[in-house]
Amino acid sequence: MSATLAHRRHERGMTLMELLTVIMIVGILSSIAVGSYRSYLLRTNRTEARTALLRLQVAQEKYFLQNNTYTTELGPSGLRMATTDGAALDTPSGYYKVKMEAGSTGQITSSYSATATAQNGQVKDTACPTLTLNDQGQKTPTDSSGCWK
């Protein structure tokens, strides 16, 4: 009987080596998960830039239909897009700065180009730091880059 009690006492807990092995495995899995999560957040935050640029495009086309010209004064929802010094505006969460300027013709009345540039924590998105949309609907980087998806 004393042999079975000694055997049970030996089986009760975990050894230090088993505990260290489990901690090491959890650490490796955590490092993989955190990296994937950060990448996911950066891709998700790009939605803010895409939304701002597409809303700006809608506002510009609406303005063009009514006035037969584009303007630097409009932004999404009719907000003032640029000031007299050409300052850019932040997107609602502050991940991007959006600026609009004259496009390929060099005059805002006939063409425009809107650019969203990453700032704050979004600058770590090295795959798509800048998104651009012009009056022709051309997007940069190209759709094949995945930045506009």
More confident residue, 45 or 104: 45
More confident residue, 144 or 136: 136
pLDDT at 130 over 90: yes
Confirm if 115 and 52 have CB atoms less than 8 A apart: no
Maximum separation of any 2 CA atoms in the chain, in Å: 99
Domain boundaries, the chain: 48-149
Q: How far apart are CA 131 and CA 128, in angstroms?
A: 7
Please name the amino acid found at residue 27: G
**Would you state the structure tokens that stand for residue 47, as one six-digit string?**
């939605």
Asked whether the whole model's pTM tops 0.75, one would answer no
Confirm if 100 and 82 have CB atoms less than 8 A apart: yes
